[in-house]
Structure 1
Amino acid sequence: MASLSSASVSLVRTPTQLPCFRSNHGKVQSLNRYSKTKTTHLSINSSLRMCSIAASDSPLSTSMYELSSKKVWIWTENSQVMTAAVERGWDTFIFSSQNQGLANEWSKIALIDPLFIKEGEIFDNAGERVATIFQVSTPSELKKLHPEAHHVGNVVIDLLDWQVIPAENIVAEFQGSKTTVFAVSKSPAEAQLFLEALEHGLGGVVLKVEDVKAVLDLKEYFNRRNEVHNRLSLTKATITQVHAVGMGDRVCVDLCSLMRPGEGLLVGSFARGLFLVHSECLESSYIASRPFRVNAGPVHAYVATPGGKTSYLSELKAGKEVMVVDQTGKMRTAIVGRVKIETRPLILVEAKIDANDQTVYSILLQTAETVALVCPHEGNRTQKTVIPVTSLKAGDEVLLRLQGGARHTGIEIKEFIVEN
């Protein structure tokens, strides 16, 4: 039977094998890569309380990307699509039964797992059935799809009418089942819809395209989601100066996700050093908590976005993605739901990594008790999670994300640059 796992793209950092291409000498070279996932528990000061949701009960504590290993099969007759897919670790391809010659030709170029469609079933090279195909265009057809009806490990569905609701129904029906359900997707957007249905998503997608860009875009989507399983390296910095500077246009970023104590956005006046600005999730006597909001700073400031990029706060708008980071460097993506720009009094905060360091890192923030910077996380000791900017003073320690300072359209580049 064809090795189906070789086509899987794990959204958890687990051992994977890099794609292999045959050399002219018939030798195959491959590399195994491994990485470890480490879990760190966030220590929260017991005096700080969430108004709307407890950290232990939060849906953010787990995600579909930590629970599932999604698979991608490719259905194409375009050799460039095949090459792009194999280079990105997707090596299971679907052919019609009449395309045995094309499968043989591609097998001479790259290590692929060819699968063949015949009379509503999918077979491997040895003729063993590995999946069943279902076309669904009516509710009655959808009701016939349930785990007990199949004796193979994979089911491929082709949703000809509605997509979102049927996909959600299938996720619910097959939860806990050992059957992997794939959905035929004709674009990366469709694939994303199926992989995120009911949060957990289907087990995989069959990307049926003739366009290389579709493969590249889907891989970029996987890369963004994989990114959240890495931990950012955050550095302890010491505040050197805090003083009021006057009025400016500051940006409140309202997300489509809730944040917990210790989480916020990475923001800074210079891309070389971004401060971890805390969300407004903490309860106070004067104002209700807003765990979806970060009062992030003025319009000119940089904010961290997926893929190691930055955006100006003024560029954010509904639908864009930003990186939410906690004290330990754990990160996840979140969608911007709304951006509010209003004129408010600002305070300048400057910090250094050590006293002898000539590099200064700075951020401007609104002068308000609800605006705070996140403190370093040190083991399980009870300590402050955040320091409001109204209480911030020289000598206090906060968290910074250090990175390259030169940017072009938000992408880090290597060039000489001086910023003050």
Structure 2
Amino acid sequence: MRFAWIDLREVPGPQLQAVVDAAVHTRMAGVLATDAELLATLPPTVTRVLIPGNPATDTAKKPGAKETKETKGADDSKQTKATAGAGWDVLLRTFTTQDELDALAAGNRAAGGTPTAGFIDVRDDRTLRLSCAGAMALPYTVIHFADPTKIPLEIVLAAAESAEGKLLTTVADLEEAAIVFDVLERGSDGILYPPRTADEVFALARLLEATTPQLELATLTVESIQHVGLGDRVCVDTCSHFEEDEGILVGSYSSGFILCCSETHPLPYMPTRPFRVNAGALHSYTLGPENRTSYLSEVGSGHALLAVGADGRTRRVVVGRAKLESRPLLEIRAHAEDGQLVSLTVQDDWHVRVLGPGGKVLNVTELRTGDELLGYLATDKRHVGLPIGEFCKES
């Protein structure tokens, strides 16, 4: 489960208490600060991370620098003071060499010791290899990548696949946080995020909660199929490969959808296009993240939709383009067990497909009364795609 530590070091003074309160209220996993007394005020629901100086600027910890007796003594003094006042759960220390990493790992193995996390600034191949070693050896490894490319993060994620510890990546903003969480489809376990205001903490909380739901699909029974003539239909080309039992939910009514199959299955005369769904007429609704619907006519490049499997699993997919063309259309009407009507208008051609129970692939032109389809019944009425509690009748 992805998580975030809130970095308090750059929070403006007037905003500090509000940011701390927001971090506690949203149950952020951790709060990081140089002030042990501030950390001591936080509840035990938050991991309190103490930095003995700033890992990014502490002279004694810059790459290639030696730790002097004076700087080591200063750090030990701060640790002793923090221990006296309690208040922290994890100590964050910079490592720049293998010897420093070995010392941190040895300290963590000592019985009764306070967990020590490692911070490393990755700027070249040497520090990249050292960060991989840290991710395997420490309970937490916080990495700052100097370059904007995400290739080094991919390398660390691959190297630390079997690691028991947690990897955190520093990010500058929410946009970068979203990217980091998607790298290699797995992403960094956590991020270190420096908010400026409490609003940014709440926005981060929404990002962390942005998972797609498991849907309870319904079995629908076909009651009629009708050729309705020429109209405009939309093909949705996504930036992802669909699985053989995946598609998107489409329907004429916002209260009911049918699972339209992707073009992952072989067809004569044309190659498979596993990124595409021949979705339906342009007026149709389709379901996206956060329980929001869109008309197919609104769907376009950069739009997010839900890919839905025959077992109800979902994932977010991004639209690369939507292609609208005039074609003969076919209306499928089906009903749920309780009699609720679901309607779908699609291109009138046998290579357009929907899914039945168990992921069975069904050509729309071969459907017959009594055939069973997979669908989704929504209890919400809609206004501009958002659920709303009002009277609404569709026919």
Give the TM interval when normalised to the shorter protein: 0.7 to 0.9
Counterpart mapping for 1:190-269 below 5 A: 190-225=176-211, 227=212, 230-269=213-252
* Paired residues of 2:40 and 2:88 also in contact (CA < 8 A): no
Change in Cα spacing, 1:370 to 1:237, as seen in structure 2 (3 Å) is same
| Aligned match of 1:112 | 46
User: Which amino acid is the alignment partner of residue 286 of structure 1?
Assistant: Y
Counterpart mapping for 1:130-145 below 5 A: 130-145=116-131
Change in Cα spacing, 1:167 to 1:403, as seen in structure 2 (3 Å) is same
Change in Cα spacing, 1:163 to 1:88, as seen in structure 2 (3 Å) is farther
| Aligned match of 2:7 | 75
| Aligned match of 1:155 | 141
User: Which amino acid is the alignment partner of residue 327 of structure 2?
Assistant: R
| Aligned match of 2:23 | 85
* Paired residues of 2:28 and 2:205 also in contact (CA < 8 A): no
For residues 348 and 158 of structure 1, the distance between their equivalents in structure 2, rounded to whole angstroms, comes to 55
Per-residue deviation, 1:129: 4.7
* Paired residues of 1:92 and 1:112 also in contact (CA < 8 A): yes
**Pairing 1:291–2:254 present:** no
Per-residue deviation, 1:72: 1.7
Give the stretch that moved more between structures: 252-261 or 126-135: 126-135
For residues 254 and 401 of structure 1, the distance between their equivalents in structure 2, rounded to whole angstroms, comes to 22
For residues 217 and 393 of structure 2, the distance between their equivalents in structure 1, rounded to whole angstroms, comes to 23
For residues 307 and 267 of structure 2, the distance between their equivalents in structure 1, rounded to whole angstroms, comes to 22
Compute the TM-score of the two structures, normalised by the length of structure 1: 0.74
- Counterpart pick for 1:374 among 330, 336, 355: 355
- Can you list the C-alpha shifts for 1:117-165, whole angstroms capped at 9, x where unaligned? 1144997726735212122344443344331698532211122333412
Normalized per residue, the structure richer in helix is: 2
**Pairing 1:363–2:349 present:** no
For residues 329 and 174 of structure 1, the distance between their equivalents in structure 2, rounded to whole angstroms, comes to 31
Per-residue deviation, 1:294: 0.4
Q: CA RMSD in A?
A: 2.5
Change in Cα spacing, 1:205 to 1:311, as seen in structure 2 (3 Å) is same
| SS at structure 1 position matched to 2:271 | coil
Kindly name which structure, 1 or 2, has the bigger radius of gyration based on alpha carbons.
Answer: 2
| Aligned match of 1:391 | 366
Per-residue deviation, 1:75: 1.0
* Paired residues of 1:304 and 1:310 also in contact (CA < 8 A): yes
For residues 151 and 402 of structure 1, the distance between their equivalents in structure 2, rounded to whole angstroms, comes to 49
For residues 321 and 111 of structure 1, the distance between their equivalents in structure 2, rounded to whole angstroms, comes to 34
- Counterpart pick for 1:101 among 22, 37, 41: 37
Counterpart mapping for 1:271-310 below 5 A: 271-310=254-293
Per-residue deviation, 1:375: 0.9
* Paired residues of 1:270 and 1:405 also in contact (CA < 8 A): no
Per-residue deviation, 1:92: 1.4
User: Which amino acid is the alignment partner of residue 118 of structure 1?
Assistant: P
- Can you list the C-alpha shifts for 1:350-404, whole angstroms capped at 9, x where unaligned? 11124x83x4221110011111221123xxxxxx812211111222111221113
* Paired residues of 1:186 and 1:208 also in contact (CA < 8 A): yes
* Paired residues of 2:115 and 2:139 also in contact (CA < 8 A): no
Per-residue deviation, 1:114: 1.8
For residues 136 and 219 of structure 2, the distance between their equivalents in structure 1, rounded to whole angstroms, comes to 55
| Aligned match of 1:32 | none
Q: Which has the higher contact order (CA 8 A, sep 6+)?
A: 1
Structure 1, unpaired ranges of 5+: 1-9, 11-69, 378-383
**Pairing 1:408–2:392 present:** no
- Can you list the C-alpha shifts for 1:5-47, whole angstroms capped at 9, x where unaligned? xxxxx2xxxxxxxxxxxxxxxxxxxxxxxxxxxxxxxxxxxxx
Compute the TM-score of the two structures, normalised by the length of structure 2: 0.78
User: Which amino acid is the alignment partner of residue 222 of structure 1?
Assistant: L
Structure 2, unpaired ranges of 5+: 56-60, 62-74, 80-86, 92-113
- Counterpart pick for 1:125 among 88, 93, 107: 88
| SS at structure 1 position matched to 2:155 | helix
Per-residue deviation, 1:90: 1.4
Change in Cα spacing, 1:181 to 1:241, as seen in structure 2 (3 Å) is same
Per-residue deviation, 1:106: 4.2
